[in-house]
Structure 1
């Protein structure tokens, strides 16, 4: 029996780009693969209704899953994955954005890599980006901060392939509700990647501004908050050690009479206050994380139904 695949595409008011994306999928995905692939569009409660029909799709039909409220890209992905896991009728799920920046031709390469490693989630690793210099610069900064705070490398986004056996694991990872790739890193589900260039947006303008990008980066870091909190505490202890060393140096200078009157006591007191504050804040963060780990978490596989308004079969 031939395998069945589905492409999961979350979208919010991106109907024009989505139609162009479907056309690109028709053109760029291998015909034998396309014939076995359905589309699931997760409509994140768009404020604009479709003004026309979908582009004719040459694959295995289109379904639109509409949400009761706008939840954001990452939560829409988590709900779509949970819906597909409930059906358990798909051998592989491809997750990609609706704007066309995830080039449909990359699906062929993801599939080829998945045949080599059938039990792994396969990500598209960004080998080249099309954004402006400012975006690329801050993206490099984000990756460096992510690695510094979490000890992990992140070189991929949402574009990925999830095999059925891993899908059932994935939808029970609460962290994908905040950040899909970060949740997979946190879950320790095995994954691999294949280098793919990022394409240009097919239509419209990106809804991601600087604030949205910062929030997205923080959400990725937040799913590894326990590791982050401990690393911050260790950094705070190291800085406290440095501060204590400076205070002793100041006291030594004062004892031998080389310190400017008033300067030694002012600097020493300031360093002591900063040291104690940073240490106590870091310690408080660690205890907050430990308390959070004892609480019951949101599980997408169980709670996703609360957000699904309807499922519409287009073809």
Structure 2
């Protein structure tokens, strides 16, 4: 029996690109996969009305899930996955963007990889990007910071395939509410990836600006804030050791009479203040994280219903 699929597509005011994406899914998805696929479009409380109806879909059906309020891309994905886990029986779920930058043809590669690794989430890893030099430059910085602060490597985004056996685990991971790929890394659910090229946007302009990109990067780091806090504390301790070493050097220079009057005491006291401040801030951050871990967390599988307005079946 052929496997059944659901493609979860979050969108906000991207109706034109979404219509073109549905056409591309019809054209590029393998026929045996397409015939057993349901589209679940999560409308993130769009401020613009849909002006043209969806084009005919050659799969099973199209469902439109509307949210009561705008929550953002990551939360829309978590709600879509939670709805599928409860209401749509399927073997595998694909998460992709509505703008067309996630190429439908790459779903075929992820399906093939999933056949080889049936118990793993499969991500589309970008081997080539079409963004500007400035974006790629800051993206490299982001990946480097993510590795240094969390000890993990992130080379992928939302475009992924989730097998049913992992879906029920995933929708109970509170961190996906903040950042979907970061939450999967944090959850320790096994995953793998296939190399793909990022496609071009099908229509309209990107909703993502520079501030949004920074917030997205910080949200990915925040899901592993406990590890990040400890690493910052360790770094602070190492810097404090360096500061103490400099203070001893300054004292030595003052004793032998090679220090400029007033310079040694000023620099030494400044280093001492900076050392104590950085250490106390880092320690406070660690205690905040430990306190956060003792609190009850938001579980998408349980709480997503509070944000769902309507679910309509189209075609």
Aligned residue for 1:131, secondary structure, equals coil
RMSD (Å) for aligned C-alpha atoms: 0.6
Aligned match of 1:143: 143
1:248 and 2:248 aligned: yes
Question: Which of structure 1's runs of 4+ aligned residues deviate more than 6 A?
Answer: none
Q: Which residue of 2 is the match for residue 131 of structure 1?
A: 131
Give the corresponding residue for 1:277: 277
CA displacement at 1:88 relative to structure 2: 5.2
1:139-161 Cα distance to aligned partner (Å, 9 max, x none)? 00000000010000000000000
User: Could you tell me how far apart the structure 2 residues matched to 1:128 and 1:238 are?
Assistant: 37
| Equivalence map 1:100-111=2 (5 Å) | 100-111=100-111
1:199 aligned partner: 199
- Equivalents in 1 of 2:86, 2:38: separation in Å? 16
Measured in 2, the distance between the counterparts of 1:2 and 1:111 equals: 12
Deviation for aligned residue 1:33 = 1.1
Contact 2:10/2:97 (CA < 8 Å) preserved in 1?
yes
Matched-pair contact (CA < 8 Å) for 2:38–2:60: yes
Q: Deviations over 1:208-244 (max 9, x none)?
A: 1110000000000000000000000000000000000
Partner of 1:219: 219
Cα distance in 2, alignment partners of residues 10 and 261 from structure 1 = 65
Give the TM-score normalised by the residue count of structure 1: 0.99
Aligned pairs (5 A) from 1:248-267? 248-267=248-267
Q: Separation in 2 of the partners of 1:28 and 1:2?
A: 18
Q: State the 1:87 CA deviation.
A: 2.1
Paired with 1:241 and 1:115, the residues of 2 have a C-alpha distance of: 52
Counterparts of 1:1-315 in structure 2 under 5 Å? 1-87=1-87, 89-315=89-315
Question: Under a length normalisation based on structure 2, what TM-score does the superposition of the two structures give?
Answer: 0.99
SS of corresponding position for 1:258: coil
C-alpha distance in 2 between matches for 1:53 and 1:300: 30
Q: What stretches of structure 2 of length at least 5 have no aligned partner?
A: none
Paired residues of 1:88 and 1:164 also in contact (CA < 8 A)? no
Q: Structure 1: which 5+ residue stretches go unaligned?
A: none
